[in-house]
Amino acid sequence: MLLTSFPAGPLQANCYVAARGPGTGCVVVDPGMDAMAGLRHVVSEQNLRPEAILITHGHFDHMWNAQDAAAEYNCPVWIHPADRHLLSDPMAAISTQSAAMLRQQLQMTEVPDFVEPADVREAEDGVQIEIDGLMIRVDHAPGHTPGTVFYRIDYDGPEDVSQIMFSGDFLFAGSIGRTDLTGGSHDQMQESLRDRVLPLADDVIVLPGHGPQSSIGRERATNPFLAELAPSPRPSELP
C-alpha cells in the first residue's frame, strides 16, 4: 500500500493520500487549506489518479480545498449528510466571533465563496467505498461535529497492522476532538469513543487530522479520555 501525508494550511491539518501503489487510483483524505500544491506533488510524483475525496468532518481546515481537488481531478466528494451543508458554508460551524478572529488571523477581508462540488456522495455509517482495489469502510462517530466520520482501510503491508484509520479531529495521539464548537456534543463523543473506538483491534493505526500517528492499542493504554471509558478489569484479569 502507498500511504503518504503532509500538513497543510495555518492549522497544519494532515492531508492523506492512499492507494494500492504507484500508478493506481487513490483516495484523498481531508484536503484542507493550502493543500493543493502538496496534493499535486504527490499525485504527479507517484503517477496517481485521485478517484475520491474523503472528508472526515466539515470544518474548514479539513475541506477548504475539497471543491478545488474534486474539480481538478473530476472525482466525487464523500461527506456525512449531517455536515454536508458546511461544504457551501464552512463558517456555519463556528461562531460569528470565531469567524471574525479567523479572518483576522488569516489576514482575509472576507471568506471566499464556497459552492458544493459537482458530485457529492453521502458517507453514512456502514457505507463501503471501493477505489481501485481499496475497500474503505465508513464509521459515523458524532461528537466533534454531528457528521464526523472516520474511514478504515484493510492494510496488506508487511507490518503487523490490520487496518489504518483516518480519524480526523475525532481521535488524536493522547487526546480527542473538542466538543465545545458549534454542533459538538460531549455525550455523543463519549458514546462514539465507547462504541466505535474501544471495540477496535489494538493493531489498528490511527492517522489523525493533526499531529503524529498512533494506534488503538497505544491510545487504549495511554489516552486519558479512553481510559475513563474502559471497563475496570475483573479480579482474575489483574496482574
Q: Look up residue 209 and give its DSSP letter.
A: S
- The answer to whether the predicted template modeling score (pTM) of the entire model surpasses 0.75 is yes
Domain ranges of the chain: 2-232
Sign of the C-alpha dihedral computed for residues 3, 41, 58 and 82 taken in this order: negative
Give the Cα separation of 169 and 13 in Å (integer).
Answer: 9
Q: pLDDT tens-digit profile of 127-184?
A: 999 999 999 999 999 999 999 999 999 998 778 899 999 999 999 999 999 999 889 9
- Name the stretches of the chain with pLDDT < 70: 95-112, 230-239
Return the CATH class of domain 2-232: alpha beta
